[in-house]
Amino acid sequence: MKNEKGYALVTVLLIISIFMVLFLSFMGQSFNTVKQTQVVEKKSKSVALAEMGISYYQTAVQNIYEANKQNVYNQVKAKIDSDRQNNNLQSADSYAMQGVNLMKTAISSELNTLQNSVTIDGNPNDSFTLTNKNFYTDTTNKKIQLTVSGNDNGKITTLSTELSFELTISGLNFGGSGTTNTNTLPTFNLIQEPTNISTTCKNPVSIVSIKDSCSQILIDTAKTYNENINGISNNTIFSSAATGILFIDGNANNMNKMKIHAEKDFRLGKNANNASALTLESKGSATFDSQYRVDTGSKIYVQGDLTVYGHFELAGNSIAYIGGNAYIGGKLKINSGSTLCVVGSLTVAKKQTITGELIQKSKVSDEVFKQKCGIPSIPPVTIFWGDKLESNVNYNY
């Protein structure tokens, strides 16, 4: 019994020591947990501020996107129409990227008008800031990237979001015949009347003097120009006068990619040789007092009579459509790949050389005449925008 004295005290001390260790460990863990919770709470606040900023700028971009859809459509459609007239139609992807880049420009411009940093009401030390805008302008990437920082009294969390465009285009016609083989007869409205014309480019005294500064020239009265317009290129001359005549009393040789529209009559006083990629429309008659030769996909549409007192030649897959009678005072030459269509009578004073096609309405059926001489029916171009920009938020903490 004497040998067992003192064991109880050792046992009690051991138990007390174990409980003290456990108690101290528990208290230390509790303090660490409280400290970590405080850190997380502080960090979460800066995250919340960054998320608030992401939402704020995403909404701003979405609103800008919606407001600019029609304007971007109009610009892309105008480019498609211009390229189609110039036989320079590009791929659907190319026009889609033009639309995307125009939209990026609009978003970039309008985002610059917003505050880059927004302070939370009642909390002057809390804010979110748009720190970076990447519009991928040098690539074909259909995305923009925004980076936003949330600031909780100096504690920063940064988030980024990628907003993607899903833009597609339908109705393009690459072969020139639309999605069907249906043709329609000319309406003599291929060339649109210019708008927003400066005073300099309206009813000029001389076409030659303003041809380099005015790509579009509007004439709204009967007008006579006593000058040569040789070598003129990439201009539109639009005569909107419903009465009278647009008369150029001179030579018009070597014209390139010209567009000429006369709402009434058109007359050229001298030679017009080697016209390349010319589009000429007259809702009245067209008269050439000397020789007339067109090449390289030129298009001649005359609603009334055509009179050429000299030689008349169509070359380079060109077409001439005459809604009335045609009189050629010299030789008529239609080269391979080119077509002359005449609704009324055709009179040629001298020799005819025809390796292309001469289509006279009186000698073929209406359907053949329409298919041979009509303008391809082209479906309308449609741009499809997604309802919303697709977004993906990246957390960088």
pLDDT in tens, the chain (397 residues): 455 556 676 676 777 777 676 666 766 665 555 454 454 445 578 888 888 988 998 889 889 988 998 898 888 888 887 777 666 778 888 888 888 888 888 988 998 898 889 998 878 889 999 999 888 876 667 788 899 998 988 888 889 888 887 777 777 754 443 344 578 888 898 888 888 889 999 999 999 999 999 999 999 999 999 999 999 999 999 999 888 899 999 999 999 999 999 999 999 999 999 999 999 999 999 999 999 999 999 999 999 999 999 999 999 999 999 999 999 999 999 999 999 999 999 999 999 999 999 999 999 999 899 989 988 766 677 777 776 677 777 665 5
Within 10 A of 152 (CB to CB), how many other CB atoms are there?
Answer: 22
CA nearest neighbour of 328 among 344, 350, 343: 350
Helix (H, G, I), strand (E, B) or coil at 294: strand
Say what the pLDDT of residue 325 is: 97
Q: What pTM does this model have?
A: 0.58
Contact 160, 145 (CB under 8 A): yes
Q: Are 172 and 382 in contact (CB under 8 A)?
A: no
Residue 21's pLDDT is 66
| Six token digits for residue 255 | 């014209």
Candidates 257, 205, 265; CA nearest to 235 is: 257
pLDDT of residue 383: 78
Which pLDDT score is estimated for 89?
A: 79
- Dist. CA 32–CA 23, nearest whole Å: 14
The per-residue pLDDT for 101 is 87
Backbone angles phi, psi at 105, to 5 degrees: -60, -45
- Structural domain spans, the chain: 10-172+383-395, 185-374
Q: Is 256 exposed, middle or buried (0-12, 13-18, 19+ CB in 10 A)?
A: middle
- pLDDT given for residue 279 in this prediction: 94
User: What's the pLDDT score for residue 349?
Assistant: 95
Can you give the pLDDT at residue 7? 64
